[in-house]
Amino acid sequence: MAQWIFRLKGCLGSKVYSEVPDGGWGWIVAVAFFLVEVFTYGVIKSFGIFLKDLMSDFGESNSRVSWIISICVFVMTFTAPLSSVLSNRFGFQPVVMFGGFLISLGTISTAFTSSINQMYLTIGIVTGLGYCLTFLPTVTILSQYFSRRRSVVTAMASTGESFAIFAFAPAFTALKNCIGWRYTMVVIGTLQGIIIICGALLRPIVIKPKTSPTGTEQKITCSLPEEQMQGSVSSGDSGVQSLDELEQGLKSGKEQGEVEPLQIPPKKQGISSRNKLLDLTVLKEGSFLCYSAFGLFATLGFFAPQLYVVELSASLGTERDKAAYMLSTMAIAEIFGRLSIGWVLNWGRIRKIFVLLGCVSLMCLVLVFFAVVNGFWGLAVCCVLYGFLLGNIASTHIPMLAEDDVVGIQRMPLAVGVYVCIQSFAGLAGPPLGGVLVDVTQNYRAAFYSCAAGMGLGSIFLGLVHPAKTVQLCSRRDNRQNNPIVEQVSKDKPEEFLEVENQVIKS
């Protein structure tokens, strides 16, 4: 038994590299993220095909049924800080595997519900929590395995959501007509168990520099970046351990007369790691607040179109089976959108935050077009444009946190939970707001007006991110001019190391 556990740990334990590999085991993580996208967002955005069945079986209104997805999205996003804390404390693998179990359990349990209120619990809370525990840790560790290729690989892996919508919309519709929506839920829940396997493949990455030229290897018990990616010394490897900067700090420390390697006392390690399980200091940064406001309002336009486009098409005279292909059309366009944005961002000629701003502005116009066009082909064109732009935005808005314009790669694993938590309130309000407008106006076009308004506000706040970051950097530069010691140290070290190295200089 012990030998089997040892082999299992060797196969699924940490991967050690001398630098960010831009490949290696990262390709396996990319495949795992692809499958996680398939069985999380892919299922959520295909849920619209069950809308009419649930309204008929339970005798409920659009707004009441829409609350199922709203609660699910809210729980998934509002509990994002919990996902960050658990991942930093216990590691990515167990958290994602447990999340996969909750997803499968919640979806299968939905088949045995007898009211919409019970579906609020099974799909909304249980499955929503599972989605939270699987998606964020997976996209975070994928960002850590890649540097130069991060934009392209993340975009390619995120196409799993689009492929799922393309395949699930007609497949689940046909399966539902054959065996009913309840047994279809059992099939979906069983397939979602694949996420548990994907979680086991998320091997933590450890960046350990090569041995120094003198043949002696510097050993550091704990470093701040490791705490940021790992969260706790006792939790095992769950993120990137970057030792290059502190090795430089050791050299500078020796120049000051230090002989012993820099070490952090175990007691202080525990305190620091507990404090770094979640980073709330990002809320003091204007760039992050503007970016979070963008995510809050833009989320209003993320889910309602997929939820109501089939019913809008049917209300304009399209056959219902034919209307289901609107989702497939949207999904195909989204695939091209995700791949193209990855190529554009990897090109590196335009600042990434500006590319995202252009996509969000165009998305606002497309949502307005949904509310004014008539006929099947008009909606089909809108679906193509919406899917393409959605692919651009959805595949970049979370990885964009790793860019220096927002928070940077070192603080991303801790800030991503806060960002997604702020998004959660729009995810809770978006679909029900659209449902209320539809019930009041008796017109499915009304739901798209609220989406366009939210996306417009989001574009305004996104445009303020870069100016806010510029102001922040200017203020830091002024402070460093007033403190020459900090200025000298900060040339080679990130801010997180200033406090540790100042102690070395003072000693």
Per-residue pLDDT tens over the stretch 162-205: 788 778 878 888 899 999 999 999 999 999 999 999 999 998 88
The more confidently predicted of residues 223 and 168 is 168
Rounded-to-integer distance, Cα 344 and Cα 349, Å: 8
Residues 99-108: b if buried by 16+ CB within 10 A, e if exposed: bbbbbbbbbb
Q: Tokens at residue 39, please?
A: 């069985």
| pLDDT of the residue at 218 | 45
Rg (C-alpha) for the chain, rounded Å, is 24
Closest alpha carbon to 181 in 40, 330, 70, 68: 68
Percentage of the residues of the chain whose pLDDT score is greater than 70: 75
Q: Are 250 and 500 in contact (CB under 8 A)?
A: no
Residue type, 192: Q
Lowest mean pLDDT among 225-239, 300-314, 412-426: 225-239
The β-bridge partners of 206 are: 16
Q: Report the 10 Å Cβ neighbour count for 305.
A: 27
Rounded-to-integer distance, Cα 288 and Cα 286, Å: 5
Q: How confident is the model at residue 5 (pLDDT cuts 50, 70, 90)?
A: very low
Lowest mean pLDDT among 14-23, 86-95, 140-149, 363-372: 14-23
Domains in the chain, CATH or no CATH each:
15-209 (1.20.1250.20), 280-472 (1.20.1250.20)
Would the pLDDT of 208 be above 80? no
Query: Torsion angle, CA of 103/109/113/118, rounded to 10 degrees?
Result: -40
Mean predicted lDDT score pLDDT of the chain: 75
The more confidently predicted of residues 283 and 105 is 105
pLDDT mean over 361-378: 87
Closest alpha carbon to 298 in 400, 212, 206: 400
Burial tier of 66 (Cβ tally within 10 Å: 0-12, 13-18, 19+):
buried
Residue type, 9: K
Would the pLDDT of 156 be above 70? yes
| pLDDT of the residue at 105 | 95
Q: Tokens at residue 28, please?
A: 């396996």
Q: Are 393 and 335 in contact (CB under 8 A)?
A: no
pLDDT, tens only, 30-89: 999 999 999 998 888 788 788 888 888 888 887 788 788 878 888 887 887 888 788 888
Would the pLDDT of 241 be above 50? no
Output the pTM of the full model.
0.64
Rounded-to-integer distance, Cα 241 and Cα 227, Å: 8
16: three-class secondary structure by DSSP: strand
